[in-house]
Amino acid sequence: MPKDDKLSKAFVISSIIAFALLYFIDRITKVLVSIKLKDNEPVKLFNDYFELFYLENKGAAWGILNGKVWLLIVFTALVICILIFFYMRIPSSSRYNLLKISSLLIISGAVGNLYDRIRYNYVVDFLYVKIIDFPVFNIADCYVTVGAILLVICLLFVYKDSELGFWFLNNKSEE
């Protein structure tokens, strides 16, 4: 078996395992919060600066598009498909690990929230930074946010334009 085939198989297998782990962490936290906090008082942590607070969010971030669940489902599914397509084009070289991690975080978070929207018609949010009255969010939101920040850092500071040619559809020379 050629070395590239082994790297490609390892890349796919490790990607699936990482996705499954991230998705499982998101699901289990939402299930536990739903069991323990739904219809109960918030759990105050860190001197009332932070709370675990059950919330059913029928919109997107900061409640935008509230009640437009089907629009969010279609948009999120489309974005996930595009992200997976581009993710699969990332070379298996360790040089691109940061790009792989950022992409996997975004995909995992998007899938986690998509599942909630399809299954429940809302997303379970539960992390509340009370001291700054930040909107309630969840683990999947953390994945998307951290992944997006990491992606911006990668694109601005880590990779040269010439190293990102694999993302372009007309590029014949993939690494």
CB 127 within 8 A of CB 10: no
Classify each residue of 5-22 as buried b or exposed e, where b means 16 or more C-beta atoms within 10 Å of its C-beta: eeeeeebeeebeebbeeb
Strand partners, 44: 51
- Residue 61, C-beta contacts closer than 8 angstroms, at least 6 positions apart: 135, 137, 141
CB 63 within 8 A of CB 57: yes
**Secondary structure of residue 49 in the 3-state scheme:** coil
Look up 141 and say whether it is catalytic: yes
Query: Which residue carries 């694109």 as its tokens?
Result: 155
List the catalytic residue out of 26, 116, 125, 161. 125
List the catalytic residue out of 39, 48, 141, 161. 141
Stated as kind and residue range, the H or E segment containing 36 is helix 3-37
Structure tokens at 45: 């942590």
Q: What is the DSSP letter of 83?
A: H
- Which are the catalytic amino acids? 125, 141
